[in-house]
Amino acid sequence: MLAGYETLITTIALGAILAYSFHVVLMAGQLSLGQAGFASLAAYTSTLVVPTEPIAGSISPVIVGLPVGALVGAAAAFVVGLPVLRLRGVFLAIATIAFGEMVRVLINNAEWTNGAIGVRVEKWVTFDFAWIIVAVLAYLFWRLGPSRSGRAFAAVREDELAAGSMGVDVVRTRMASFIASGAIAGVYGVLFAYFFGRITPATFDFSLTVNGLVTAVLGGYLVFFGPVLGAGFLTAVPEIQKALGLEAGWIHPLITGVLLLAVILFLPGGLSTLFSRLRRAPARPGPDYAPLDALDPLPDPGTRIAAVTGLAKSYGAVDAVRGVDLEIRSGEVLGIIGPNGAGKTTLVNMISGLEPPTAGEGEILGVPLGARPHRFAQAGVSRTFQHSKLFERLTVLDNVLVGTHVVSRSTYLRRLAWLPSARRDERRALALAWAQLERVGLADRAGLRPGALSYGDRRRLEIARALAAHPTLLILDEPAAGMNHVEAAELASLIRGLADDGVTVLFIEHNVKMVLEACTRLVVLDFGEVIAQGEPREVASDPRVIEAYLGTEAEAHEESEHV
């Protein structure tokens, strides 16, 4: 019975392999559509190296072509990725489509490919061989998901800016997913050639890309077996249609389109979303996992950790920050206040690497100004944002686990080999994440999505994620926004506790009472310039500060009396 369905079963396997080449870039939030080009280059190249006879009498010769195809696809993806990965969204899609069409035209006119006639080869690929490759790919993605590298992919997909501030090298992560996509597409090209026995330039046209993308989206990219689900579903539809006697040519695309639309509307994560909801949250590690034991000690109190001079940022004719000199020492709580538009967020964006300065020099924890955000994060700078940047499709716990990126070791390769050290490192990161959730009072919400949290809890989650990086310098951009006076008082207490633990805190806040309670030093900005700095109460009574920010002298005195 199975023999009559071998072609169908193998077609499902090939569809799943092609979908995995889209799956890996979708995991990193990229819309790359150049897989047909990678597959065709690999398929034609493999015909030059694959033997015409079985190896050792019984081994399929395709075993020689697979690594060659993967290497050709990966190399092509790397070369293409260097210029095109600067693009995002639809522009990246258009650029990669253009690459695929260029390859098709090249192959169609090259002599060694036999032009439009194509190349005939032996049919060496069987259904069991194809499914072994599917199983290998599924295993690779299964072990990737809960690893440090898998969390980096998810963070880049959700929000590149937040991922970079957590220490994820966004450029390297995007390139890694692009190269992996090229390698998998190359494997698909080789298998396709030696299953059907013939390849032509028309084999790898744009319709192949569309089919692979639809399969990946339908199956879903949040769970490792999504491509298999998508391939099986789309291949089963025409078979069911035939069984029902519905063989009109227009019925299949109609049914497929309706089903795809339904999935996009009601299951945005694809069919695999139904299974992802069944995944249990990782259990809290036992007391034998001490989260802070393996972390580097923080600098001694009073050590200079950052210094900038003449720092400036201009947007055209607008000077957002002008000539700021600032020094930060470990263990202090430095508040930055000022009226709206004073340049506060721009200043901390430059300090954390999100904005390159127009002028000025200095370094933060040994990293020069103007470096990329992940370098500041790796040095010990962690931050929250004025408008929360949480990873909405990850759980509360997974959000905080991303924060451990800079203080945990890569585990993916060790997870593939089931080495005990990988489990130990993952458990240590998990213990650190749980410790920070408990610190901010969100441990009981670990399995929820951020969208289920109140505004104040979302702010606390972002702080927990930043603390999971074990920062030397913690930057908080309006952390009390949206909190009531009780929550703000608790946050002020948390900030003072962090300083007692040796964490240096720099925060922007409009809640003057909280600032005066929590800060050991205050800097006031107005029109991008520092107009006062020093001990909080002295600064609060400065006439220039009162005029620029605090209002009348009587109002400022009243604010101070509330402390």
Residues 227 and 333 in one domain: no
Does residue 292 lie within any of the structural domains?
no
Contact assessment for residue 215 and residue 236, using Cβ atoms and an 8 Å cutoff: no
Residue 290, pLDDT score: 60
Question: In the listed set 276, 294, 315, which residue is the last one of a domain according to the structure?
Answer: 276
CATH number of the domain encompassing residue 359: 3.40.50.300
Q: How far apart are the first and last CA of the chain?
A: 82
CATH number of the domain encompassing residue 142: 1.10.3470
Q: Which residues contact 270 (CB under 8 A, 6 or more apart)?
A: 216, 217, 218, 219, 220, 221, 222, 226, 229, 230, 263
Does residue 289 lie within any of the structural domains?
no
Residues 123 and 253 in one domain: yes
Residues 250 and 327 in one domain: no
E strand residue ranges, 299-339: 304-315, 318-329, 333-337
Residues 199 and 270 in one domain: yes
Which domain range does residue 271 map to?
2-276
Q: What is the pLDDT along the chain (563 residues), one digit of tens a residue?
A: 455 578 888 999 999 999 999 999 999 999 999 999 999 999 999 999 988 888 877 788 899 999 999 999 999 999 999 999 999 889 999 999 999 999 999 999 988 888 889 899 999 998 899 999 999 999 999 999 889 999 999 999 999 999 999 999 999 999 999 999 999 999 999 999 999 999 999 899 888 998 899 899 888 888 899 999 999 888 877 777 777 776 656 676 777 778 778 877 888 778 777 776 666 667 777 666 666 556 778 898 989 999 999 999 999 888 899 999 999 999 999 999 988 888 999 999 999 999 999 999 999 999 999 899 999 999 999 999 988 899 998 999 999 999 999 999 999 999 999 999 999 899 889 999 999 999 999 999 998 999 999 888 999 999 999 999 999 999 999 888 878 888 888 888 999 999 988 899 999 988 888 888 889 999 999 989 999 999 988 888 888 888 877 664 434 444 444 44
Residues 257 and 117 in one domain: yes
Say how many C-beta atoms besides its own lie within 10 A of residue 255's C-beta.
15
Residues 459 and 509 in one domain: no
Nearest 5°: phi and psi at 318?
Answer: -100, 125
Does residue 284 lie within any of the structural domains?
no
In whole angstroms, how far apart are CA 312 and each of 126, 317, 530, 548?
65, 13, 12, 20
Say how many C-beta atoms besides its own lie within 10 A of residue 563's C-beta.
13
Does residue 299 lie within any of the structural domains?
no
Does residue 178 lie within any of the structural domains?
yes
Residues 96 and 8 in one domain: yes
Residues 432 and 346 in one domain: no
Question: Which residues in 496-519 are b (16+ Cβ under 10 Å) and which e?
Answer: bebbeeebbbbbbbebbbbbbbbb
- How big is the chain, counted in residues? 563
Give all strands of the β-sheet with 529-534 in edge-to-edge order: 381-383, 473-477, 504-508, 333-337, 521-526, 529-534
Residues 110 and 242 in one domain: yes
Domains in the chain: how many in total? Answer: 3
Residues 433 and 508 in one domain: no
Say how many C-beta atoms besides its own lie within 10 A of residue 387's C-beta.
9
> How remote is the C-alpha of 11 from its chain's centroid?
32
pTM of the model: 0.90
Strands 521-526 and 359-364: unpaired
Contact assessment for residue 477 and residue 455, using Cβ atoms and an 8 Å cutoff: no
Does residue 297 lie within any of the structural domains?
no
Report the DSSP beta bridge partners of residue 55: 59
Residues 30 and 167 in one domain: yes
Amino acid identity for residue 123 in this structure: K
**What is the rounded distance in angstroms from the CA atom of residue 92 to the CA atom of residue 51?**
37
Report the DSSP beta bridge partners of residue 180: none
In whole angstroms, how far apart are CA 461 and each of 384, 466, 501, 506?
10, 9, 20, 18
Does residue 313 lie within any of the structural domains?
yes
Residues 89 and 195 in one domain: yes
